[in-house]
Amino acid sequence: MQQEKRAIVIGASSGIGLEVAKKLIDEGWKVGVAARRVELMQGIGAVAVEKIDVTAEEATEALQRLISKVGGMDLFFYASGIGKQNRELLEDIELATLQTNGLGFTRMIGEAYRYFAHQGHGHIAAITSIAGTKGLGPAPSYSATKAMQNIYLQALEQQANSRGLNIRFTDIRPGFVDTALLSGDFHYPMMLKPEKVAKEIVYAVNHHQHIRVIDWRYRLLTALWRRIPRFLWRRFRL
């Protein structure tokens, strides 16, 4: 008899996290969900719900409670994050972004890594962004924290391999997605639908892909970005 697959989804109250949680449930996963807004996660079919603010020190304890409610964890999917354009470099926006995308990310990914290291196996998948490809002037702290997330996952993957740990990693790098994160007056090009993004994410997880840039247009775009030298990039008006 095949063992039931168990997943924890952090940031499942809306957007990509919610759609991924629903798709995993549809595929037969036993799913526990968490976010700050618990009321938005009711009724999606998760076996357990927990309120977690990734910026709070007690977030790791809440994660352990959620894992216990689900009966274990085989997949840790992380979708929490914030980001705003900040052309005036307002301090509160920059520091809040670092707090969530830097400290919160490290806190939760680290706890999942330690859990899987003790268990002996597991899969960590996290939403980062194509914004980590180059420093983006309109969103300095956002692009910087996304680059940090890319490198952090890469470093953990190398460490796990060096330690002989059976932990897989999938770095999910979407382009612009039609979620509350990008709501406002600014029009973003090549906007993706959360449902389509979730489908690609679950495919990447099921096929143990290390990095998945979503979608093909953004794969071409980021390949181009990487080839632009610094002396040209700094002259771009974004």
Query: In this structure, are strands 166-174 and 75-78 parallel, antiparallel, or unpaired?
Result: unpaired
Whether 185 shows a pLDDT value over 80: the answer reads no
Separation between Cα atoms, residue 237 and residue 72, nearest integer Å: 48
Report yes or no on 93 lying in a domain: yes
DSSP 5: P
Q: Which residues pair with 166 in a beta bridge?
A: 121
* pLDDT confidence band for 3 (50 / 70 / 90): confident
Whether 2 shows a pLDDT value over 90: the answer reads no
Here the CATH number for the domain that contains residue 133 is 3.40.50.720
For residues 126 and 149, is the Cβ–Cβ distance under 8 A? yes
Q: How many separate domains does the chain show? A: 1
Give tens-digit pLDDT for 48-102: 999 999 999 999 999 999 999 999 999 999 999 998 889 999 999 999 999 999 9
Residue 145 one-letter amino acid = T
Whether 176 shows a pLDDT value over 70: the answer reads yes
pTM over 0.85: yes
pLDDT of residue 177: 75
CA angle 142–211–100, rounded 5-degree value: 30
Separation between Cα atoms, residue 175 and residue 214, nearest integer Å: 6
Separation between Cα atoms, residue 212 and residue 98, nearest integer Å: 24
Cβ neighbours of residue 169 closer than 8 Å, sequence gap 6 or more? 123, 124, 125, 153, 156, 157, 160, 210
Report yes or no on 1 lying in a domain: no
Report yes or no on 73 lying in a domain: yes
The domain of 97 spans 6-233
Report yes or no on 120 lying in a domain: yes
Report yes or no on 107 lying in a domain: yes
- Rounded mean pLDDT, 209-214: 96
pLDDT of residue 178: 66
Which of 207, 137, 222 has the alpha carbon at shortest distance from 176? Answer: 222
pLDDT of residue 1: 44
Whether 191 shows a pLDDT value over 60: the answer reads yes
DSSP-derived secondary structure for 167-204: EEEEEEEE--BSSGGG-SSSPPSS-B-HHHHHHHHHHH
Give tens-digit pLDDT for 7-52: 999 999 988 999 999 999 999 999 999 999 999 998 899 999 999 9
Separation between Cα atoms, residue 15 and residue 17, nearest integer Å: 6
* pLDDT confidence band for 214 (50 / 70 / 90): very high
- Rounded mean pLDDT, 158-181: 88
Report yes or no on 51 lying in a domain: yes
